[in-house]
């Protein structure tokens, strides 16, 4: 599903003494099947932008187009349930939203509320529990008997059971250890490819943005500061530092290498393998011993 923002603005408590502007003149396109990372410092507008992706918020200025649905500022909106079915959001700590007696009931809750039959909802539960790396036997257990990592996967399965076209990930690895973060991000990458999803990752992790995204949207003060490929976005670490952001560890190491030996590698590297490939010719010339 294609998503476009055209000069979108949003104010909380508009026309009141407490009016607060969160978005200003945001224009960005997210192509169907693409993987986009949205990055920015706290308060940059990421979370407000995210909530427009399934019409939890609607613009106070501009136009948001979600597939064939056009949402214009100032127009009363009806029938948004279909959008919320097509766009699934995995919020931070989604396991906090688990509440049913069994894992199966929790996963089936969303589909049942959208008119899916009980038989089909249970079939979906069997399918998605495997997609998130768990086994069907866990469906009969209470979600509160599971480990934290298992609970998070169950919560994600509940989102996938809605069969969304768009998957929005809001800091999906928050609170996980490095191994858990890698496993979850690889799981989302596999789902993105196998299901042809449009994936939107809102993250503070520059490593995840560099590794998984095809496009990076950099937010600053409620506006879009830059739209670029990860390589373009991370080729200017000074700009990111000014905005209170870091760069991926690989990029940081590359910059230190270049400064230490007064050389310039052929490109900004986003993976260890890329960096090694770029460094080898210089190391072969004895640069490291200089």
Task: Check if the beta carbon of residue 98 is closer than 8 Å to that of residue 146.
Answer: no
The verdict on residue 275 lying in a domain is: yes
**Which of 227, 243, 237 has its CA nearest to residue 270?**
237
Give residue 254's domain range: 248-284
Task: Check if the beta carbon of residue 124 is closer than 8 Å to that of residue 162.
Answer: no
Residue-wise DSSP of 84-106: HHHEEEE-SSGGGG--SSSHHHH
The verdict on residue 268 lying in a domain is: yes
Q: Which residues contact 24 (CB under 8 A, 6 or more apart)?
A: 9, 221, 222, 223
Q: Which residues contact 30 (CB under 8 A, 6 or more apart)?
A: 2, 3, 4, 36, 198, 200
Residue 42: φ, ψ to 5°:
-55, 130
Give CA separation, 137 vs 4, 133, 224, in Å: 41, 12, 46
CA 174-151-192 angle, 5° bins? 65
Give CA separation, 264 vs 22, 227, 246, in Å: 39, 25, 20
The verdict on residue 20 lying in a domain is: no
**Which of 247, 258, 167 has its CA nearest to residue 210?**
247
Per-residue pLDDT of the chain (290 residues; tens, 9 = 90+): 999 999 999 999 988 999 999 999 999 999 999 999 999 998 999 999 999 999 999 999 999 999 999 999 988 888 888 898 899 999 989 998 899 999 999 999 999 999 999 999 999 999 999 999 999 999 999 999 999 999 999 999 999 999 999 999 999 999 889 999 999 999 999 999 999 999 999 999 999 999 999 999 999 999 999 999 999 999 988 888 888 898 899 999 999 999 988 999 999 999 999 999 999 888 766 554 54
The verdict on residue 156 lying in a domain is: no
The verdict on residue 103 lying in a domain is: no
Number of domains present in the structure of the chain? 1
The verdict on residue 186 lying in a domain is: no
């Amino acid at each position: 599903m294609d998503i476009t923002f055209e000069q979108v603005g949003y104010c909380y408590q508009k026309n009141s003494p407490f009016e607060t502007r969160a978005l200003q003149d945001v224009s960005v396109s997210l192509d169907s099947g693409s993987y986009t990372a949205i990055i920015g410092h706290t308060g940059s507008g990421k979370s407000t932008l995210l909530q427009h992706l399934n019409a939890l918020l609607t613009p106070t200025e501009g136009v948001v187009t979600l597939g064939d649905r056009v949402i214009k500022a100032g127009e009363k909106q009806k029938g948004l349930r279909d959008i919320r079915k097509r766009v699934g959001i995995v919020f931070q700590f989604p396991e906090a939203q688990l509440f049913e007696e069994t894992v199966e009931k929790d996963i089936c809750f969303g589909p049942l509320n959208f008119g899916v039959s009980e038989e089909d909802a249970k079939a979906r539960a069997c399918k998605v529990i495997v997609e998130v790396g768990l086994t069907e036997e866990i469906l009969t257990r209470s979600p509160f008997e599971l480990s934290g990592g298992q609970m998070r996967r169950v919560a994600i399965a509940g989102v996938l059971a809605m069969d969304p076209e768009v998957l929005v990930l809001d800091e999906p690895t928050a609170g996980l250890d490095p191994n858990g973060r890698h496993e979850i991000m690889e799981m989302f990458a596999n789902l993105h490819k196998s299901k042809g999803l449009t994936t939107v990752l809102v993250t503070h992790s520059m490593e995840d943005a560099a590794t998984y995204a095809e496009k990076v949207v950099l937010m600053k003060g409620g506006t879009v500061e830059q739209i670029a490929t990860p390589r373009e976005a991370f080729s200017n670490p000074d700009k990111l530092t000014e905005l209170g952001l870091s760069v991926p560890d690989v990029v940081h190491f590359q910059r230190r290498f270049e400064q230490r030996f007064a050389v310039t590698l052929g490109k900004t590297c986003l993976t260890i393998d890329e960096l090694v490939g770029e460094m080898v010719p210089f190391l072969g010339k004895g640069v490291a011993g200089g």
